[in-house]
């Protein structure tokens, strides 16, 4: 699928290094001042690529369908510039109705170009097509740019908050939710 010069497609094992670069640079840019600098500086494209390969191999080994995660890349001129993935909502082993947006990153130099919006629309469409009634995500509470981005995409905070530990620092997160509709699912058919 193409959207405004951005080509969207399923991620393959050959994309792991490019996706790792997007993720690492995304973290280092978006989370500066929110995540300890030592953690961001220690991030490695090579280590992240190895984890991506492992995760993708595990996902491919699982049966296709609503239980499988989905990884999508955004390309421009043959270069991977963004990546997003979703799957079943993770709630400490408890089943929950809905999908979870696990990750959404665009290279810093490609932000505000429509690539993130295109990836988001594609992931929402796929989740709706998979039969999920809603999509949830966790965002760093201090990340006002990301929060505005998700709010423009129709997400809203649902009242859930949590934190995770990064090198001894508690990093607070806020959960967002968005209902999925037949119109979201139709977007995949139009593309």
User: What would the pLDDT profile of 103-128 be if each residue is shown by its tens digit?
Assistant: 999 999 998 899 999 999 999 999 99
Tens digit of pLDDT for each residue in 152-174? 999 999 999 999 999 999 999 99
Domains and CATH numbers, the chain: 2-190 (3.40.630.30)
Do 100 and 130 touch, CB atoms closer than 8 A?
no
Mean pLDDT, rounded, of the chain:
88
CA dist 150 and 156 (Å) reads 8
Residue of 141, 124, 140 lying closest to 132 (CA atoms): 124
């Amino acid at each position: 699928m193409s959207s405004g010069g951005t080509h969207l497609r399923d991620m393959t094992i050959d994309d792991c290094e490019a996706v790792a670069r997007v993720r690492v640079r995304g973290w280092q840019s978006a989370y500066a001042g929110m995540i300890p600098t030592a953690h961001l500086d220690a991030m490695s494209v090579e280590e992240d690529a190895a984890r991506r390969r492992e995760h993708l191999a595990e996902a491919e080994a699982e049966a296709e369908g609503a239980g499988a995660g989905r990884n999508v890349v955004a390309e421009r001129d043959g270069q991977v510039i963004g990546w997003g993935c979703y799957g079943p909502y993770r709630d400490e082993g408890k089943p929950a109705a809905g999908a979870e947006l696990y990750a959404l990153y665009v290279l810093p130099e490609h932000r505000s170009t429509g690539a993130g919006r295109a990836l988001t629309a594609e992931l929402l469409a796929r989740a709706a097509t998979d039969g999920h009634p809603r999509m949830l995500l966790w965002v760093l509470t201090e990340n006002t740019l990301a929060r505005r981005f998700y709010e423009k995409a129709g997400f809203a905070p649902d009242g859930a908050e949590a934190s995770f530990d990064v090198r001894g620092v508690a990093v607070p997160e806020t959960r967002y939710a968005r209902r999925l509709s037949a119109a979201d699912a139709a977007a995949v058919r139009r593309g």
